[in-house]
Amino acid sequence: MDDDVIEFVKVTAATASTSSRVLTVQAVGVGAEGDDDGAQGFDAVEVAQPCGLMASPSLTATTEAVAVRRGDELVALVLVDKGAAAQSVEAGETRLYGVGSDNSTAVIRLRANGDVEITAKSARAIRLATSGGGDIVLNGGTLKVARVTDAVSVQLTSVEVGGITAPPGGGPCTLTSGSLTLSGTIGSGGGAANVKA
């Protein structure tokens, strides 16, 4: 392969480095179809990935790399798999989807109309996690988010409800000592209007 010539090569293995933020692949190039052993082989081909993105796909028989030679080194510019399940992306949409064979239906969509949708694989959980105790802020909000049907607990001290009694047969109530706990759920009018979970 000549320098600066872009070529498609078949990817046969992928390894995410444990010491640096890089993915390398093994690939085969020129050779008869189906004759991977007789084709030109490439080891430790570094895959160029954008800053802030690290992906290590599950490989299939149709996974290829678009590669270019830099001196004696082959560099993969991008990995493609046209044999993978289709993603019906609408015009103006940006989509991030799982590249594993068992999570290809896990999707984050930045839709053309401005909506953001996060969908996990069926029967899997969506988890928002932080390291170091930082906040996850949605729509610039500052309040803690609760959902309809989440349990609530309100505790009132005797000082707060002093003067309330429960006489036999009903009537006005008095709490003379201790505390009173009220429990329930958030009603349909509660929760964050712009956060749906």
- Mapping DSSP onto H, E and C, the string for the chain reads CCCCCCEEEEEEEEEECCCCCCEEEEEECCCCCCCCCCCCEEEEEEECCCCCCCCCCCCCCCEEEEEEEECCEEEEEEEEECCCCCCCCCCCCEEEECCCCCCCCCEEEECCCCCEEEECCCCCCCCCCCCCCCCCCCCCCCCCCCCCCCEEEEEEECCCCCCCCCCCCCCCCCCCCCEEEEEEECCCCCCCCCCCC
What's the total number of domains in the chain? 3
Same domain, 35 and 72: yes
Summarize the confidence of residues 60-66 as an average pLDDT.
Answer: 92
Same domain, 17 and 52: yes
Same domain, 155 and 112: no
Same domain, 77 and 91: no
Reported as a pLDDT band with limits 50, 70 and 90, residue 117 is confident
Query: Which residue range(s) make up the domain with 181?
Result: 151-185
More confident residue, 176 or 22: 22
Same domain, 37 and 100: no
Q: Is residue 171 part of a domain?
A: yes
Q: C-alpha distances in angstroms, 177 versus 2, 61, 98, 129, 158?
A: 88, 73, 57, 42, 5
Same domain, 106 and 125: yes
pLDDT above 90: percentage of residues in the chain: 24
pLDDT for 173 beyond 70 = no
Longest dimension (CA), the chain: 97
Summarize the confidence of residues 110-133 as an average pLDDT.
Answer: 76
Reported as a pLDDT band with limits 50, 70 and 90, residue 190 is confident
Stated pTM of the model: 0.64
Q: Is residue 93 part of a domain?
A: yes
Same domain, 69 and 97: no
Same domain, 34 and 97: no
| The domain boundary residue, chosen from 42, 61, 81 | 81
More confident residue, 75 or 130: 75
| The domain boundary residue, chosen from 59, 81, 103 | 81
Question: Buried b vs exposed e over 119-157: b needs ≥16 C-beta within 10 Å?
Answer: eeeeeeeeeeeeeeeeeeeeeeeeeeebeeeeeeeeeee
Q: Is residue 47 part of a domain?
A: yes
CB contact at 8 A, 104 and 112: no
